[in-house]
Each structure stands twice: as structure tokens, then as C-alpha cells.
Chains A and B, each alone.
Chain A
Amino acid sequence: MSPDRLAALGKAILLPAAIVAIWAFATDKGFVLAYVLPSPETVLATLKDFFFGGSEQSYSGTFLTHFQQSLYRVAGGFACGTILGVPLGVVLGYNRKIGAFIEPTIELSRAIPGICWLPLALVWFGIGTGTSIFLIALGSFYSIFLSTLGGVRYVNPILLRAGRSLGATESSLLYTVILPAAFPSILSGLRLGLSYSWIYMVLGEFTGVNYGLGALLLQSRDTMDTSLIIGLMGVIGALGVISDRLMLLFMTKILRMDVK
């Protein structure tokens, strides 16, 4: 690692380290009640138990079970949001005439906060996976759709001219110039959509399903297990970061690929 990056890392880590230090100090000296804010060591111990087992707690060693359920919902919902958002964004971005019929409706419906759909989703899909997937699809759709639309619509016109004068036909222009040029914009929409997916996953699982990281989060409030609550918040956040990095890695490999 270069000295510059090392210095940047040092600066970035300073504030979190201070927060953890104050947290540890305050809990160690008994300034706060343990059930309100457990010590960092307790949270770590709970997480270790959650991942690898070793205690009599009901959550002991259950990470994989909950993670699989949540991942299934995130992947399903995000896939639905992508399958709807990308093609619709491409078509409406490419053809303003069709856009005039559909775009205003999408824009208006976007004003309804995603969380407002929860009661209706429960009526339609019941408690559980269906509702979660619906909410995640809805939550990720708008950012994926809008970024794709913008990327396709605002391709640098000089690139289109270059493509046409080099012999690209109007139909081949779409996949030889427009889509590759819009790719960074589509990618940022997908990243945003994925982060919304984790958010709506928690919301969907708050409806009272048995398994899932969000479900467990709500259950630990019922049992007043603050250390598991804090631990789960960290786990869900970390999964968001990891999935974002993985997608970025995967997509930039495509970005460098030759578009045949």
C-alpha cells in the first residue's frame, strides 16, 4: 500500500476508533446500563456466538440460516427490479415518443414512499417472502430505471455521430454505442438499487417472518438483546458494503471488455 493510501486510511479510521474507545470506556465504567448499551466486547462475543455457535441461545450458530433467507429475498427482489428497470429505462431513454406515455406515471408513482406500500403488499402477498421481494423490487426499481434512462438519453451526441459516420446502423448503434456509453450510469443505478434492496429487505422482514437477518433484528428487540441488535446492524451494513464491492468488481470486468 502506498504511503498516501496508508495516510488516508489512518485518517478515515480515526473517528470510528475514537467512538469505539469512548463506547468501551463508558460501558466499562458503568456510565450506561448494560441492557441499554452493552460493551463492544459483549457485542463481539454475541456475534461470534451468532456465527459459530457455542451457547444455549436460540440464535447461536444460526447466521447462515438467516443469511440465506435474507440473501434469497434481496437477490430475488433486486433481480426483479433490474429486469424491469434496465429494459424499461433503455426503451424510454431511447424513444422519447414511448416515454411520453409512461414516464409521467412512473415519476408520479415515485412520490409514494416505498414504505407506504407495505400494508397493501401484506394484503396481496401475505407475510413473508412475497412481500419482501415485492418491496425490494419496488425499492430498487426506481433508481435502476432512472439511472438507465438518464444514461441512455444523455449519451454524448458526438459519440452517436462518430458511430453513424463509421457505418453503424440505427439499430446497431444501440448496442455498439448507446449501451456501452450508458454503462457507467446503469452501473451506478444498480449500486444504488442494491443498497435500497438491503434497506427494504429489513422492512419486509419486520412483518413477522421467522427467518432472516431483519426478522432476527426485530425478535431481538422483543427479547431486549441489545448486543445482538447492534451486532446485526453491523452485519447487515457489512453485507451491503460487501455486495456492492462484489458487484462493482464484476461489472468493471465487463466494462473493460470489448463490446462485440
Chain B
Amino acid sequence: MTGAIIANAPVTDLTRSNERSAKISFRDITKEFVPHAGGVPMKAIDGLSLDIEEKDFVCLIGPSGCGKSTLLNLLAGFEAATSGTVTLDGRPITGPGPDRGVVFQEGALFPWLSVLDNVCFGPRRLGLSRDSYLQEAQAILEQVGLSAFAHHLPSELSGGMRQRVAIARALINRPPVLLMDEPFAALDPQTRVLMQEMLLQIWERDNRTLLFITHDVEEALFLGSRVIVMSSRPGRVLRDVRAELPRPRDYSVRAHPGFVKVKAELFAVVREQTIVAAAEGNGG
């Protein structure tokens, strides 16, 4: 049963579409984790190749442990691949940098800095003068609806507000690429929908290249212009779908017949992979 769906899955072989150079390119990526106590290395990703075009909104979904966060960490420069290369504009990634903004699941705000100072952290490190970024910071806070909270500490904000600060903090550096690792996973469903709409507005205006990781099929389809489903460990690209839904999108697109159909389809694929992952976990 498992085999049937995987075999039918139309995997786009992007390794051959090399005539147009991609913004981001993962080439034959393998990533192994060696346990601290020694022993057999765990293969998180095995020979994955993937190209991402400029200004695309790519959502990565897959079961837990499929290596989707690892993929993001490789691109962010937080981790190095065991073999294979990751390139941005043709240049290999050697470490983290302000050209790739990152929004983490739990915000990762600096708890000792006010909202405004969190947002200003990036420009300050880049050596810009206060005059040049202060206005921008205030404008971005306005955009995410937090002007009134500029002088609050992160601990004084709700989870949704903290994620908005995290987005603002990443945006102010104007990174050509924005990486988001399950940024809305810890939020309640109502807040999550509002955050998704806010993110869509920002993306539809700026058209950054965006890599967004989620567990949630509906979230991926609602946000992304391209949805990639990864297999259970070791992670490979299983499905690669263009989500050609009308833009600008709002919540009503969820009732669109195309949305419902693709969602059901992708949900079945992810479910299948989650079962495989769970079975492997139980079997040791």
C-alpha cells in the first residue's frame, strides 16, 4: 500500500532543469548525525537535490524527523552537510549571515531587549547609524501591528506577538531569503490564521524568496506557491506541487475546490509517511 502512493507520486526531477540558475540550490545533500555516545550514524537526509527559484514561497512538509528542519539549518548555515553542497546565488553556504533571515519556532527573541531593540539588533550589528534604522524599525513594527509595544519586553507579550516581533526582526535586514521553521506551530488556531494572512501580505508586497517549514498541510497550501512533501527518514523529495491558487489570498481560498482536492491528496501522502516513520520508530 505504501509503495503504490509513493510510486505514483510525480516527483519533479529538478536536477535536470539546470539551464536557469536557481536562487537556492541543494545538490546531492546527505546529512548524518553521529550519536554523542558513538555508534551508528543516523541518516537524516539521503542524496536530496532541490532548486528554489527567486521570489518563490516554498513550503516544506513531512513527518517529524524527515529532515526538513535540517534542510533549513543547512541553508541558514547553522549546520554543515555530510556531503553535497548548498548554494545561494551560486555561492556555497559557509555559515550564517544576514542575507538569510531566520524565524524560529519559539521566536528566539533576546529576552533582555525591548521589542524595539530586538528589531534593531540586526542593523546595529551591521554597523548602521541609529538614524538610518530607527524609522524603518518603527515602520516595520507598525506593519506587524506592534507600535504600541515597542518598549515592552518579550516576556510581556503573547506568543503570537512574540512571533510578529521575530518576523519584524528578520525583515529589517531586508534579507533576500527568509527562512521560517514552523513559526506558527505553537500558536492557537485563531492567532495562527491571522499570522498566516499577515505573512502573505508581507510576501505578496516584497516577493522575497521564502522557505517555510510546517507540519500542517493546510498551512503549506494556503501560504505557498510551491509545496514540497518530504519522505520519512532519510528525507527525500516525495511530491513537488505548484499551488496555483488566486492571489492575493485570504482565508476564503480554503473553500476553493482546487484547494480542497490538493489538500486531501497531500494529506494522504503525509499521513502515509507519518505511519512509516512511526513504524520505524516503534520497531527500533
Contact = CB atoms under 8 A, between A and B. Distances in A.
Contact of B110 (A177, A256, A260): A177
B206 to A, nearest CB: 18
Interface in A169-191: 169, 172, 176-177, 180-181, 183
Given A162-B102, A165-B76, A165-B96, A255 B125 contact: no
B102 A176 contact: no
A165 B125 contact: no
A158 interface: yes
Given A165-B76, A167-B122, A158 B110 contact: no
Given A161-B102, A162-B104, A166-B98, A255 B121 contact: no
B76 A161 contact: yes
Interface residues of B, number: 29
Contact of B101 (A163, A165, A172, A180): A165
A258 B121 CA distance: 11
Contact of B125 (A156, A161, A172, A180): A172
B117 interface: yes
Contacts of B104: 158, 161-162
Nearest to B175: A165
B112 A162 contact: no
A161 B108 contact: yes
Query: Which of B111, B117, B153, B169 is packed against the most chain A CB atoms within 10 Å?
Result: B111
B97 A165 contact: yes
B112 A167 contact: no
B117 A258 contact: yes
Given A167-B98, A167-B122, A172-B125, A180 B173 contact: no
Interface residues of A, number: 23
A135 B151 CA distance: 44
A108 interface: no
Contacts of A165: 76-78, 96-98, 100-102, 170
A188 to B, nearest CB: 15
B113 interface: yes
A168 interface: yes
A166 B113 CA distance: 15
Contacts of A166: 98, 101, 121-122, 125, 169-170, 173
Contacts of A161: 76, 78, 96, 102, 104, 108
A164 interface: yes
Contacts of B122: 166-167
A180 B112 CA distance: 7
Contacts of A259: 112-113
B37 interface: no
Nearest to B109: A162
A214 to B, nearest CB: 38
B125 A167 contact: yes
Contacts of B109: 162
Contacts of A159: 108, 110
Interface of B: 76-78, 95-98, 100-102, 104, 106, 108-114, 117, 121-122, 124-126, 153, 169-170, 173
19 contacts: A158-B104, A159-B110, A161-B102, A161-B108, A165-B76, A165-B77, A165-B78, A165-B170, A166-B121, A166-B122, A166-B169, A167-B122, A167-B126, A167-B173, A169-B125, A172-B125, A256-B112, A258-B114, A260-B124
